[in-house]
Amino acid sequence: MIFGTHAVLEVLKEGKPIDQILIKKQSDNEMIREIIFHARKLGVTVKSVPVEKLQRITQKNHQGVIAFTSPIEFENIEQVLPTIYERGEVPFIVLLDEVTDVRNFGAIVRSCECMGVHAVVVPHIGSAQISADALKTSAGALAKVPVCKVKSLVSVCKFLQKSGVQVLCASEKFAEACYKVDMTLPTAIVMGNEEQGISQPIIDLADRKICIPMTGEINSLNVSVATGICVYEVSRQRNGVC
């Protein structure tokens, strides 16, 4: 955590990885405007919050600005994808549409690392903060799996499709069983928010809409569990496991 206008601005100018910045509501001066300018330039999330929230985070002189640094370096999906193809590998990407729980996020990345996922893509706004809890839950996977933060998942889906990657949306609301889809092809699986699921614009773009067949009375799974099952199915098909 970094606080104070000068300290936060210097970190931004150095280009160090920052997860998000909190700025006191109705703050407006030259320094604040410069912080917002550099943050947007770097794609860093900026949130306007009540001063009470800042006070709960620290009692020190934060000057209305607190930044949370990221323990990992975010990568660019437009650079990651060509590298996968150049290595002669079949792309396997997971997109998380505003998964907000840090433990879910950490558990998902852990499953992704175990099953050979090449990259995890999250939006700048609305995704879980990569905190100590996320790192712990991932069991070190966050240091191994590239995480790409993007402004628009819709744009990323279009980019992936143009690059020959099929985009699959996974939800209990859909009817096609995941094991019926050929996942030996270049594949990206989209998993949705814990409450609202996948946003409609992404669903509309999907090449296929898949589900995990279930036989119990409860017809939904925790997003980290569901992701684990979906990424295992990709691994199962690609490794010829019956």
Q: Where along the chain do its domains lie?
A: 2-69, 77-238
Bigger pLDDT: 70 vs 64: 64
Q: Taking a C-beta distance cutoff of 8 angstroms, is the pair 178, 82 a contact?
A: no
Alpha carbon distance 183, 130 (integer Å): 29
Helix, strand, coil share of the chain (percent; to 5):
40, 20, 35
Is 77-238 assigned to CATH 3.40.1280.10? yes
Is residue 6 scored above 70 in pLDDT?
A: yes
pLDDT for position 205: 96
- Residue 137: Cβ within 10 Å count: 21
28-48: average pLDDT: 87
Rg of the chain (C-alpha set): 19
Is residue 90 scored above 90 in pLDDT?
A: yes
46-72: average pLDDT: 87
Global pTM value: 0.80
* 237 CB burial (10 A radius; 0-12, 13-18, 19+): middle
Bigger pLDDT: 36 vs 143: 36
For 2-69, CATH gives: 3.30.1330.30
pLDDT for position 19: 79
242 band by pLDDT with thresholds 50, 70 and 90: low
Q: What is the per-residue pLDDT across 108-148, written as a single tens digit (0 to 9) for each?
A: 999 999 999 999 999 987 788 776 777 778 887 888 899 99
| DSSP at 26 | T
Is residue 74 scored above 90 in pLDDT?
A: no
